[in-house]
Structure 1
Amino acid sequence: MDTAAWEERLLTEIDRRSDELLELAGAMIRIPSENPSGDCTEIADFTASWLRERGLDADVIGDAATGRLNVLSRSGDAADGDRHLVLTGHYDVVPVGDVERWSFPPFAGDVVDGYLRGRGASDMKAGLAGALFVFGLIAELGVPTAGSLTFLGVCDEETGDRGGADWVLEQGYLDGVTAGVIAEPAERSHPTIGQKGSNWFRMTIDGKPGHGSLQPLHGVSANLLAAKAIVALQKLWDMVPNAPEDVRELIAESKAYAEEREGYGAGIGDVFEHVTINIGRISGGTSTNVVADRAIVEVDTRVPIGLTREEVNDRILEILAEEGIEATLEPLGFRSEPNWTLPTDPIVETLIGALRDISDPGAKGVLQWASSDARTFRSHGIPVLQYGPAELATIHGFDEKAPADDVVLAAKVYAATTLRYLGLHAAG
């Protein structure tokens, strides 16, 4: 059979076995893997067992003591330099929060009214299940791909720790991989092919304690200095990026796409051309009646294409100096430069071409304003894009869910992308 015939067979099989795919996704959702704590032992064991039950090799790699475990499986025998695709994603999820505020069990893993329900349904166990299912199906049917195919499930994405994709790449487990598809949530017709940089930091400001009844005449309030600094840091929004010429059209298209999304106010597209500043946590002082001797502020800034973290950090120091505020800054959490894969890259053209043929002729890649493991793959020279099923408004919230039809669609896109990107052996 040629590529088109194999593709038709795979897509037909995914449709025929869609209940099996959704049950796999549901089973993964029913395994709690909240981060923190980040212990992914049970979900890693489940994933590895699923592969081994189908006669596939599965390596569980990472730190068994903490449960920071990843699952790797490879098929095909592409020579060095030939195409090698990785289908990947993370199986850690954010905490469910207040269970009483969910209208269904947080780890339900069932399909009700056309939606797969539970923590991780959108971010991102449904997408990862689709990648796993397609990896197994290609092996089961004996599709003679010319290149190699790897499945990788990772931990540690949600908190930005380094036991997942960072560790796997640093250890060389993906040496030779030429492209990747990350099953991260995306809008149905808009895979994400780039993202802003992340620049989190902790700002510590010291004051001088004194009796609260004497403020502002005695003592120096660290809390007041922190408030002044917080207001001043809003000037970061005014920084002007200088994006490379070859991504300016992508930025413009991403802005237009963002303006069309429901649930956001007018002007939301400006996020792609500005530094955003979120004051995530504030703590300070020791008692209500004591002038605060220290304030600690945790800040999340996001860096647009055309600026660097260094430029943003230099501007932060300038702003604080202008305000006469002395502060200690230390890096925190997510840290990455703006990163992207060009729209003309083969893996981008292949997946978007498959999506256009299967679902929406108007599909196109866009930027995302958040961060993910995509930054790590790109920093190791592996071009990637993200596409996965999601009800985006429910991510990290109560009552998380994903459209069941989109879970099936994503699996079809993974299958078609794999065939088209890797090609077939001549005898195939």
Structure 2
Amino acid sequence: MNVAIEKVVDSMGNEIVSLLQKMIQIPSENPPGNYEEICNFLEKELLSLGFEVKVVNVPEEETRKLNLPTPRKNVIAVMKGNGGGKNLIFNSHIDTVPAGDLEQWTYPPFSGAIANGKVYGRGATDSKGRLTAYIMAAVALKKSGIPFYGDIVITATCDEETGGVLGAGYVTGQGLVTGDMVVVEGYSNHIVRAMAGVLQLRIKSTGRPAHAAFKWKGINAVEKMAKVILELTNLQEQLKNEPSEVEGMSYTTVNVGVINGGTKVNVVPGTCEIEVDFRVIPEQTLDDIYNRVSTMIERLQMEDPEMNIQVERVPDFQTNPTVTEANSPLIEELQSAIQEVSRTTLPVVGMLGQSDTRWFIQNGIPGINYGPGTNNNNLHGYDEFMEIEDLIQTTKILTVLAKNFCGTKEFVTE
């Protein structure tokens, strides 16, 4: 490992931990999505660290379209290289899920408390810990004195926890950020190269209400929906036999997550509605799964003429699977940096979750997921934490990645 980088990052240890603590101490729960304070802090902090900084205010008409109660903001910061090299983007989100019941936390969720070699608080890993490592990797490379030619771009974006439409989706779609590679929030124990597509369906069963004492006069919408749920269970069993070839992705999952029906126990229910979430592997498409569900429901209605079922696609979080090839130069670059720092390499996997990587890929910027922390860090749960040793080690790896990726002069600038 480059001695200068190791010394610089080690010397920055307290500064790295302090930055994470300060961000944890600024609540940015989503919903509702309060970004004013965290964006003001980042603007001032990043300017002091040597970045060129721009706060992107999403137009009010865009927030109104999505019925959002508060303004949406994103921060784009650039550590300028000498010119003529490849540009590297680090992306992490500034929103967190709500803290929940404060009494369930050992340490207050917005304290940034340190105990047992860990920093505790909401966002400690997801994703203010990742953002800390990304920022400090750029700072460390600059402090090391090692020349680099491409720019290192930090995109701190809003709303990832609710889909990212006005966060990474907005800054990429508007062409506000460009680069040759993006590293998006991820884990330090593997590299993620593929993420599942998301299809969500709202399925409604319409019956005919009647008094329970005269059930035969009605059509029970809940009982009709029970047939649909049973068939969705059967579909899940079929999909288990159609596994992905991408390590870690298993198979397309079917989850009936919400059910509502009926008005009173002594009334034959006239309506029943379910919401179903599908995590779709790269070998299948959203249309494939939708068509299988539609065909299944058509068959049920032919078998039972009293069934009246409508299927609606929910567009809010619908996205196609995203894949970076296993032999991608992006993965080779990151593995090389990991090898240089830790003398090992990491598994390359896929996940059934989703992240903001998809927004960059859709706009022509190839990406992978990697960052400090693991899925054992109580993400979205009580006592979320970041191990300080992991945070420092991953910052070293990211600094080496930036050195290698941005350190080669690709062309001569005028």
Choose 26-35 or 288-297, whichever is displaced more: 288-297
Partner of 1:181: 183
- Please name the residue that 2:298 is paired with: 321
Tell me the SS of whatever aligns to 1:200: strand
Alignment deviations for residues 1-22 of structure 1 (CA, whole Å, 9 cap, x no partner): xxx7xx4322321111111101
- Taking structure 2 as the reference length, what is the TM-score of the superposition? 0.88
1:422 equivalenced with 2:406 (yes/no) = yes
Match of 2:95 in 1: 92
Superposed CA offset, 1:281-329 (max 9, x none): 2222223332222222121110012100010110110111222252231
Deviation at 1:45, TM superposition (A): 1.5
Provide the TM-score with structure 1 as the length reference: 0.86
1:280 and 1:297 in contact (8 A); partners too: yes
1:242-292: per-residue Cα shift (whole Å, max 9, x none)?
96xxxx4xx2xx24xxxxxxxxxxxxxxxx242201122222222333222
Match of 2:354 in 1: 371
Q: Matches of 1:161 and 1:231 in 2, distance apart?
A: 33
Of 135-144 and 322-331, deviating more is 135-144
**CA shift for structure 1 position 349:** 0.7
Q: What corresponds to 2:386 in structure 1?
A: 402
Q: 1:362 to 1:52 in 2, by over 3 A?
A: closer
Match of 2:225 in 1: 226
SS of aligned partner of 1:348: helix
The amino acid that maps onto 2:174 is: Q
Number of matched pairs: 393
Structure 2 equivalent of residue 301 of structure 1? 278
SS of the counterpart of 2:390? helix
The residue type equivalent to 1:312 in the other structure is: I
Counterpart Cα distance in 2 of 1:111 and 1:381: 40
CA contact (8 A) 2:4 2:144 kept: no
CA distance in 2, matches of 1:214, 1:399: 53
Contact 1:92 1:157 in 2 (8 A): yes
How far, CA to CA, are the matches of 2:201 and 2:311 in structure 1?
Answer: 10
- What is the distance in 2 between the residues matched to 1:63 and 1:37? 16
* 2:73 corresponds to 1:73: no
Instruction: List aligned pairs for 1:381-396, cutoff 5 A.
Output: 381-393=364-376, 394-396=378-380
**Alignment-derived partner of residue 64 in structure 2:** none
Deviation at 1:423, TM superposition (A): 1.7
Residues 110-121 of structure 1 aligned to structure 2 (within 5 Å): 110-121=113-124
| Distance in 2 separating the partners of 1:288 and 1:108 | 47
> Please, which moves more after superposition, 388-397 or 117-126?
388-397
Mapped to 1, the partners of 2:81 and 2:389 lie a distance apart of: 33
CA-CA distance at 1:189 after TM superposition: 2.9
The residue matched to 2:277 in structure 1 has which SS? Answer: strand
Counterpart of 1:158 in structure 2 is 161
> Of the candidates 134, 138, 141, which is equivalent to residue 138 of structure 1?
141
Q: Against the structure 1 CA distance between its residues 356 and 332, is the aligned structure 2 distance closer, same or farther, given a 3 Å change threshold?
A: same
CA distance in 2, matches of 1:100, 1:401: 17
Letter of the 1:178 counterpart: D
- 1:29 is the counterpart of 2:24: yes
TM-align CA RMSD: 2.3
Q: Does 1:126 align with 2:129?
A: yes
Report if aligned partners of 2:50, 2:79 keep a CA contact under 8 Å in 1. no
- CA gap 1:299/1:62 in 2 versus in 1, 3 angstroms: farther
Give the drift of 1:62: 2.9
Q: Which residue of 2 aligns with 1:261?
A: none
Match of 1:334 in 2: 317
- Unpaired runs of 5+ residues, structure 1, are 256-271
1:413 and 2:413 correspond? no
Deviations 1:126-150 (A, max 9, x none): 1111111222333455542122221
Q: Please, which moves more after superposition, 232-241 or 335-344?
A: 232-241
Match of 1:263 in 2: none
Q: In 2, are the aligned partners of 1:111 and 1:117 still within 8 Å (CA)? A: yes
For 1:38 and 1:96, the matched residues in 2 are separated by 13
Show CA shifts across 1:215-266 (max 9, x none): 3x231222222222122112333146596xxxx4xx2xx24xxxxxxxxxxx
On the 8 A contact 1:90/1:154 being kept in 2, the answer is yes
Asked if 1:192 corresponds to 2:192, the answer is yes
Structure 2 stretches lacking a partner, 5+ long: 61-69, 302-306
Q: CA deviation at 1:51?
A: 1.0
Name the SS of the counterpart of 2:57 in structure 1. Answer: strand
Contact 2:19 2:132 in 1 (8 A): yes
Q: 1:336 to 1:360 in 2, by over 3 A?
A: farther
Stretch of structure 1 that moved more, 121-130 or 48-57: 48-57
The match for 2:264 among 273, 287, 296 is 287
TM-fit CA distance, 1:63: 2.5
The secondary structure found in structure 2 opposite 1:153 is strand
Q: Which moved more, 1:148-157 or 1:137-146?
A: 137-146
Report the more deviating stretch, 146-155 or 67-76: 67-76
1: distance between equivalents of 2:270 and 2:343?
58
Q: Distance in 1 between matches of 2:56 and 2:125?
A: 25
1:113 is displaced (CA, Å) by 0.3
Question: Conserved in 2, the CA contact under 8 Å of 1:189 and 1:355?
Answer: no
Q: 1:286 to 1:97 in 2, by over 3 A?
A: same
Q: Please tell me the residue identity of whatever aligns with 2:183.
A: V
List per-residue Cα deviations over 1:186-222 (Å, max 9, x = no partner): 1x3311111111112222222211223333x231222
Quick one: which of 6, 14, 26 aligns to 1:11?
Answer: 6
SS in 2 for 1:12: helix
Change (3 A) 1:391 1:363: closer
Q: Counterpart of 1:39? A: 34
Contact 1:219 1:291 in 2 (8 A): yes
Return the offset for 1:334: 2.1
Distance in 1, matches of 2:153 and 2:294, equals: 44
Q: CA–CA distance in 2 between the matches of 1:365 and 1:159?
A: 26
Contact 2:9/2:395, CA 8 A, preserved across alignment: yes
Specify the SS of the correspondent of 1:58.
strand
Counterpart of 1:333, as a letter, is D
CA distance in structure 2 between the aligned counterparts of 1:27 and 1:102, rounded to whole angstroms: 19
Residue identity in the other structure for 1:52: L
Query: Structure 1 residue 92: deviation in Å?
Result: 0.7
